[in-house]
Amino acid sequence: MADSFGPMRDEDADDGVRVGSGIGEDAGPDAARKEPIRVLVVDDHALFRRGLEIVLAQEEDIQVVGEAGDGAEAVDKAADLLPDIVLMDVRMPKRGGIEACTSIKEVAPSAKIIMLTISDEEADLYDAIKAGATGYLLKEISTDEVATAIRAVADGQSQISPSMASKLLTEFKSMIQRTDERRLVPAPRLTDRELEVLKLVATGMNNRDIAKQLFISENTVKNHVRNILEKLQLHSRMEAVVYAMREKILEIR
């Protein structure tokens, strides 16, 4: 199973953000760790889950404490097992990994989530980060790097596959440029309700959760989000949050 994820590409070595060297401070070995890192593996392919378990079983400082085949089961297992790390796929039946992220953070606040997936869609990356994921790795990485990533995230770092990190930086640069181009135009005024919705969007809530929080219908939330994007002349929820923070329309603490 050592090659089940495929080898790392040589050209990724100098990309600046590498799998195994997180964004932030260098972690290094955690010699002070006494208990193994407890990992919950979530993927809808049983063979893939088994392969990960076999690989991680060889690591003395990592313990697979459970597995789940979809996001709904992952939330239940996370609540019962309280793992340190949840290693989870993005797209699964019943409930996807991104949707499960928010619920897992609610039932197991100390758990850190690493998305391990074949999806290289920018939208999945952005949504995963907003939902609370600390890592986003593509399944093309080598199995050795999975253990390294688990240790790094457990030590407080963020982990993003090089190709996805590049897309993320490119998108942020584009967003900043678009924001700068609008600075000469007075910021549109949002209603109090629209500001409430925008603030909840910024916390990673989906429309259903926002509706429950504000005691309004999900369709009303959708209308508010649409109006916000139209007023700000933006195309996505993520752009709206970044723009609002930069223009001091909204402050997240």
Torsions phi, psi for 196 (to 5 deg): -60, -45
**What are the tens digits of pLDDT across the range 162-187?**
777 766 666 655 655 655 555 555 56
**What are the tens digits of pLDDT across the range 25-64?**
344 444 455 789 999 999 999 999 999 999 999 999 999 9
Residues 78 and 197 both lie in one domain: no
Residue 129 placed within a domain:
yes
Could you give the CA distance from residue 119 to residue 62 in angstroms, rounded to a whole number? Answer: 25
**Domain range spanning residue 72?**
10-161
Which residue, among 223, 137, 204, 129, has the nearest Cα to 171 in the 3D structure? 129
Residues 156 and 210 both lie in one domain: no
Residues 152 and 44 both lie in one domain: yes
Residues 150 and 99 both lie in one domain: yes
CATH code (residue 31): 3.40.50.2300
Quote the pLDDT of residue 131.
84
CATH code (residue 205): 1.10.10.10
Structural domains of the chain, count: 2
Residue 235 placed within a domain:
yes
The pTM assigned to this predicted structure is 0.56
Residues 117 and 75 both lie in one domain: yes
Residues 154 and 201 both lie in one domain: no
Residues 20 and 117 both lie in one domain: yes
Q: Which residues pair with 117 in a beta bridge?
A: 138
Quote the pLDDT of residue 10.
39
Residues 26 and 148 both lie in one domain: yes
Residue 233 placed within a domain:
yes
Task: Write the CA distances from 103 to 9, 108, 113, 159, integer angstroms.
Answer: 34, 8, 11, 21
Quote the pLDDT of residue 33.
55
Residues 119 and 228 both lie in one domain: no
Quote the pLDDT of residue 180.
57
Residue 92 placed within a domain:
yes
**What are the tens digits of pLDDT across the range 200-218?**
887 778 888 899 999 999 9
